């Protein structure tokens, strides 16, 4: 297994390099530069600024300089937040996004699998229909609408939770529900299908015939075999949740990293765009490895080679 | 045994759920206890920097204005008055300004503020390696441009000299009558050489920064919150409010919710919420020195013909715009902002749809027929869309001209302005200093911000002469003439309105000053018992 993990990490290097190259190329193709302002800079000043950030150099040289910095672990200075390195910005904001993302992931897994299993084993009952309603709503309701509804309900009308900011765990409830709601709905649908499929298998019939308790059949046989599709989506889901969400962070004023996926682009803050993209890629690579390992625990037929 | 176990598990779950809800309902929120002498407000973004040589945005400037002071500051009427400089002299030829500094101004570490700190700061601003975007603010100083652009290397040749700890001498290239106004601007505030050299880029972090203003920065949780505490060493006396908490709240509706729940004492109102709060005593509307205009590319058809520009300018009833925007905007035909020297509402093309139609007809386009396709381009923004749709409707109604609308992302729009200026486009301008020069220089031939391609020798001459004209009346006349050339004779732009700031302030907050420069003054702030 160690060899497998090592190999997968090695494969991560060309993936990172490809992502870095493509991102670098695309962000320079997009019109507009980091120092284009409503109040235009005199050419002499623009020259000083561009020289400071090596933007006066040809593109290929800028790319080499960036890669050289990357090898040394230097993600470069932000063009927007002057005097701050991208590394510092990520260091300040990524833990917040992880906190929120893990909580949202936890909520989505618990609610998604829970409702999915109940709907699956009670298919064609009102439980099932309720779950389908929940799943459809969760997938089709944009999270900025859900966030506003939650704020209205729980902050405006019933002053239970604060509407925004990040002062403690009470402040995490509404944003993590907002962030976790759609994935929970998606997981519920996947689990439900899986459960219905597994419930019709011969080994479940055998287990019932042997007189095993229903609860035990569901927990030991049905659940384990029906959540494989959920495990498959866990990697991209984890990456998406722990790297933050622009909308949720924006609505709830959370000092996370998710906002930079949008604001760094609108500001043409090239190093920050590269930084957050690479972090996202690293998380995707790590999560995929983790999911592959998880497969071996859930399905003994899967071997890591 | 087994049932006991199940029971105890159920009990544990119940206890956990109960504890969860007890915690929820008993945890305190950020709402401080009443009368806590803390002022809480939102800022729309993380300050990009607190290094006042590098700052270029309103959020950073507002924080800097609370922790720092410069040679001069604005009074209520936006005239420069002494701050750290107790007085200043101007030489007979208007080229040498001598500032005399107060002796009782100290940095937060107890050291006195001296003229050397100003000399260092100004030369640092001009140093090409600092790459300060606002370095051009000091270009009127002798050799400042040459030093900043790398033509000369020796900073000693620049006309900034600390004669003694209490005297700063500034030599200008030519007389500039509004120079004391420039010294109110944050980029001219003094700096501590020892601190900047010691901490490098990190000198603005709370543990390193040394300031001289009414408040001092004690905490900066990036992307989230800044905390300022009253500076007991402030030369005008320690402020009455102990603590200022600034929360970074990007979404204005979220800020409004926090204001409603009592978590903030002041917020900026989102435009859509203004009608609901307009009648409340907490609502404040502050007109700004910020103009909004449509510019013509005078080299692109059909606006290469001055008559067409006149017809289009005449066909807009600007009074309609505040009614759709609801933000207390002031419609205008002239360009120099209200409350500024030489503001003259009589100047500019007035709304006259009949005349506009006649002009267009005389130009060969009766009833708007035969005009090439026209596209009005603006940057993507709901307010810009509202305005563009209204103007599009007015041009159709008054001239029978179909104009297409096209909005572009901000940086793409700016690139487009530079590389392929549209026939008609939207832009705005906010004052850096409250002098007409700041608004009128915009359209001189050499100005990098003149996107219209328009050039007029007489206009350039007038703007150049007015900068050094000491006689107030003569100066006003010069700007009147220049405005007539820009807006009535050649019509390079159509000014639409001056914008305003709309805020809510809790009734127990007193002494807060917001000015037309969009600056917030917190030093006289007081929180009453509530």
- The interface predicted TM-score (ipTM) is 0.90
pLDDT greater than 70 at residue B23 = no
Q: Give the distance from residue B223's alpha carbon to the nearest chain A alpha carbon, in angstroms.
A: 5
Cβ-nearest to A81 among B27, B30, B48: B48
Output the pLDDT for position B424.
Answer: 97
Per the CB < 8 A criterion, the answer to whether B125 and B53 are in contact is yes
Per the CB < 8 A criterion, the answer to whether B48 and B42 are in contact is no
Strands B167-171, B160-164: pairing is antiparallel
Mean pLDDT in residue range B106-122: 98
Higher pLDDT, A3 or B509: B509
Q: Using 50, 70 and 90 to split pLDDT, how confident is the model at A165?
A: very high
Cβ-nearest to B223 among A92, A156, A170: A92
Per the CB < 8 A criterion, the answer to whether B432 and B185 are in contact is yes
pLDDT greater than 70 at residue A90 = yes
* Nearest partner of B60 among B39, B75, B78, B45, judged by Cα: B45
Output the pLDDT for position B24.
Answer: 46
Q: Scanning the structure block, which residue is given the tokens 């006349």?
A: B477
pLDDT greater than 80 at residue B4 = no
Nearest CA in chain B to A157: B261
Output the pLDDT for position A228.
Answer: 87
Q: Using 50, 70 and 90 to split pLDDT, how confident is the model at B13?
A: low
Contact B27 A151 (CB under 8 A): no
Cβ-nearest to B254 among A53, A163, A168: A163
Read off φ and ψ for residue B247, nearest 5 degrees.
Answer: -100, 135
pLDDT greater than 60 at residue B184 = yes
Contact B414 A37 (CB under 8 A): yes
Per the CB < 8 A criterion, the answer to whether B467 and B437 are in contact is yes
SS (H, E, C) B283-326: EEEEEEEEEEEEEECCCCCCCCCHHHHHHHHHCCCCCHHHHHHC
Output the pLDDT for position A274.
Answer: 96
Cβ-nearest to B415 among A36, A161, A165: A36
pLDDT in tens, B397-447: 999 999 999 999 999 999 999 899 999 999 999 998 999 999 999 999 989
pLDDT in tens, A252-263: 999 999 999 999
pLDDT greater than 60 at residue B22 = no
Output the pLDDT for position B529.
Answer: 81
Cis peptide before B302 (omega within 30 of 0): yes
* Nearest partner of A138 among A117, A171, A123, A116, judged by Cα: A116
Number of neighbours of residue B505 by Cβ within 10 angstroms: 18
pLDDT in tens, B311-331: 999 999 999 999 999 898 999
pLDDT in tens, A38-53: 888 899 999 999 999 9
Q: Give the distance from residue B415's alpha carbon to the nearest chain A alpha carbon, in angstroms.
A: 5
Contact A82 B427 (CB under 8 A): no
* Nearest partner of A167 among B45, B20, B38, B224, judged by Cα: B224
Q: Using 50, 70 and 90 to split pLDDT, how confident is the model at B6?
A: very low
Nearest CA in chain A to B125: A45
Per the CB < 8 A criterion, the answer to whether A42 and B448 are in contact is yes
pLDDT in tens, A188-238: 999 999 999 999 899 999 998 998 898 889 888 898 888 888 988 988 899
Whole-model pTM: value is 0.89
Contact A93 B223 (CB under 8 A): yes
Cβ-nearest to B258 among A36, A52, A163: A163
Average pLDDT across chain A, whole number: 91
Cβ-nearest to B133 among A49, A77, A268: A49
In chain B, residues 241-260 whose CB comes closer than 8 Å to chain A:
247-251, 254, 257-258, 260
Average pLDDT across chain B, whole number: 92
B411 interface with A at CB cutoff 8 Å:
yes
| Cα B480 from Cα B483, distance rounded (Å) | 5
Contact B221 A253 (CB under 8 A): no
Output the pLDDT for position B26.
Answer: 44
Per the CB < 8 A criterion, the answer to whether A183 and A108 are in contact is yes
Cα B57 to Cα A289, B21, B73, B204, B250, distances in angstroms: 44, 43, 18, 16, 15
Element (H, E) at A160: none
B129 interface with A at CB cutoff 8 Å:
yes
Per the CB < 8 A criterion, the answer to whether B162 and B119 are in contact is yes
Chain A residues inside the 8 Å CB shell of B260: 156
pLDDT in tens, B328-387: 899 999 999 988 999 999 999 999 999 999 999 999 999 999 999 999 999 999 999 999
Output the pLDDT for position B19.
Answer: 55
Per the CB < 8 A criterion, the answer to whether A180 and A145 are in contact is no
Output the pLDDT for position B2.
Answer: 41
3-state class (DSSP) for residue B514: strand
Output the pLDDT for position A38.
Answer: 83
Mean pLDDT in residue range A276-290: 92
Per the CB < 8 A criterion, the answer to whether B95 and B179 are in contact is no
In chain B, residues 374-403 whose CB comes closer than 8 Å to chain A:
none
Read off φ and ψ for residue B497, nearest 5 degrees.
Answer: -160, 165
pLDDT greater than 80 at residue B34 = no
Question: For chain B, give me the number of helices (H) and strands (E)?
Answer: 16, 21
Contact A48 B131 (CB under 8 A): yes
pLDDT greater than 80 at residue B63 = yes
3-state class (DSSP) for residue B125: helix
Q: Using 50, 70 and 90 to split pLDDT, how confident is the model at B5?
A: very low
**DSSP character string of B375-399:** EEEEES-HHHHHHHHHHHHHHHHHH
Output the pLDDT for position A9.
Answer: 86
Lowest pLDDT segment from B13-22, B32-41, B371-380: B13-22
pLDDT in tens, B450-505: 999 999 999 999 999 999 998 999 999 999 999 999 999 999 999 999 999 999 99
pLDDT in tens, B424-437: 999 999 998 999 99
Two tokens, residue A91: 């260091």
Output the pLDDT for position B17.
Answer: 57
pLDDT in tens, B299-308: 999 999 999 9
Two tokens, residue B271: 């435009």
Which residues partner with B170 through β-bridges?
Answer: B97, B160
3-state class (DSSP) for residue A76: coil
């Amino acid at each position: 297994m160690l060899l497998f993990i090592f190999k997968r990490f090695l494969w991560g290097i060309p993936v990172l390099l490809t992502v870095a190259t493509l991102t670098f190329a695309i962000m320079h193709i997009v019109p507009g530069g980091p120092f284009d302002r409503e109040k235009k800079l005199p050419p002499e000043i623009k020259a000083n600024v561009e020289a400071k950030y090596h933007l006066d150099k040809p593109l290929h040289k800028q790319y080499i300089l960036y890669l050289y910095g990357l090898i040394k672990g230097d993600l470069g200075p932000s063009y927007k937040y002057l005097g701050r390195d991208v590394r510092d910005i990520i260091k300040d904001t990524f833990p917040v996004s992880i906190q929120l993302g893990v909580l949202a992931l936890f909520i989505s897994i618990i609610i998604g699998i829970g409702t999915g299993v109940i709907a699956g084993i009670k298919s064609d009952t009102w439980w099932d229909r309720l779950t389908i309603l929940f799943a459809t709503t969760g997938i089709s309701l944009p999270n900025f609408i859900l966030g506003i509804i939650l704020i209205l309900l729980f902050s405006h009308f019933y002053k239970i939770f604060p509407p925004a900011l990040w002062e403690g765990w009470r402040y995490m409830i509404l944003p993590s529900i907002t962030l976790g709601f759609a994935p929970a709905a998606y997981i519920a649908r996947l689990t439900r299908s899986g459960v219905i499929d597994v419930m019709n298998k011969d080994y479940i019939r055998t287990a019932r015939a042997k007189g095993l308790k229903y609860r035990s059949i569901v927990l030991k046989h049905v659940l384990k075999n029906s959540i494989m599709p959920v495990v498959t989506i866990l990697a991209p889901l984890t990456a998406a949740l722990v790297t933050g969400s622009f909308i949720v962070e924006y609505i709830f004023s959370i000092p996370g990293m998710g906002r930079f996926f949008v604001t760094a682009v609108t500001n043409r803050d090239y190093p920050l765009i590269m930084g957050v993209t690479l972090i996202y890629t690293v998380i995707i690579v790590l999560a995929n490895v983790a999911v592959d390992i998880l497969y071996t625990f859930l399905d003994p037929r899967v071997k890591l080679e | 045994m087994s049932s006991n176990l199940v029971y105890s598990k159920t009990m544990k779950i119940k206890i956990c759920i109960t504890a969860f809800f007890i915690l929820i309902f008993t945890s305190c929120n950020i709402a401080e206890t009443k009368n806590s002498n803390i002022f809480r407000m939102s800022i729309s973004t993380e300050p990009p920097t607190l290094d006042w040589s590098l700052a270029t945005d309103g959020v950073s400037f507002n924080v800097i204005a609370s922790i720092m002071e410069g040679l001069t500051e604005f009074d209520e009427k936006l005239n420069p008055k002494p701050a750290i400089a107790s007085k200043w002299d101007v030489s007979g030829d208007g080229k040498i300004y001598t500032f005399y500094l107060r002796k009782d101004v100290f940095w937060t570490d107890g050291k006195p503020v001296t003229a050397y700190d100003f000399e260092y700061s100004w030369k640092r601003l001009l140093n090409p390696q600092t790459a300060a975007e606002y370095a051009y603010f000091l270009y009127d100083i002798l050799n400042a441009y040459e030093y900043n652009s790398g033509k000369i290397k020796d900073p000693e040749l620049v006309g900034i000299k600390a004669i003694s700890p209490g005297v700063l001498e500034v030599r200008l290239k030519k007389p500039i009558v509004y120079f004391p106004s420039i010294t109110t601007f944050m980029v001219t505030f003094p700096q501590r050489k020892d601190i900047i050299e010691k901490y490098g880029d990190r000198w603005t972090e709370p543990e390193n920064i040394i300031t001289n203003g009414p408040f001092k920065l004690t905490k900066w949780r990036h992307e989230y919150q800044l905390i300022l505490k009253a500076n007991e060493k402030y030369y005008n006396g320690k402020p009455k409010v102990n603590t200022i908490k600034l929360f970074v709240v990007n979404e204005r509706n979220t800020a409004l919710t926090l204001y409603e729940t009592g978590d903030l004492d002041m917020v900026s109102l989102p435009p859509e919420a203004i009608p609901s709060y307009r009648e409340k005593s907490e609502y404040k509307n502050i007109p700004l020195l910020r103009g909004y205009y449509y510019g013509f590319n005078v080299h692109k058809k059909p606006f290469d013909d001055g008559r067409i520009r006149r017809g289009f300018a005449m066909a807009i009833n600007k009074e309609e715009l505040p009614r759709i925007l609801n933000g207390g905007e002031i419609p205008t035909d002239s360009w120099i902002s209200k409350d500024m020297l030489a503001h003259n509402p009589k100047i500019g093309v007035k709304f006259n749809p009949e005349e506009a139609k006649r002009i267009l007809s005389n130009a060969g386009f009766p009833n708007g027929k035969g005009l090439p396709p026209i596209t009005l381009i603006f940057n993507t923004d709901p307010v810009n869309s509202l305005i563009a749709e209204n103007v599009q409707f007015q041009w159709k109604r008054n001239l029978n001209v179909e104009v297409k609308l096209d909005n572009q992302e901000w940086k793409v729009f700016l690139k487009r302005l530079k590389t392929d200026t549209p026939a008609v486009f939207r832009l705005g301008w906010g004052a850096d200093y409250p002098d007409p020069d700041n608004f009128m220089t915009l359209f001189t031939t050499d100005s990098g911000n003149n996107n219209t391609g328009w050039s007029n020798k007489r206009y350039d001459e007038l703007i150049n002469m007015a900068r050094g004209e000491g006689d107030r009346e003569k100066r006003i006349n010069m700007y009147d003439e220049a405005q007539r050339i820009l807006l009535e004779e050649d019509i390079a732009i159509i000014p639409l309105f001056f914008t305003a700031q709309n805020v809510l302030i809790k009734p127990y907050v007193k002494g807060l000053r917001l000015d037309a420069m969009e600056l917030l003054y917190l030093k006289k702030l007081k929180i009453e018992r509530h």
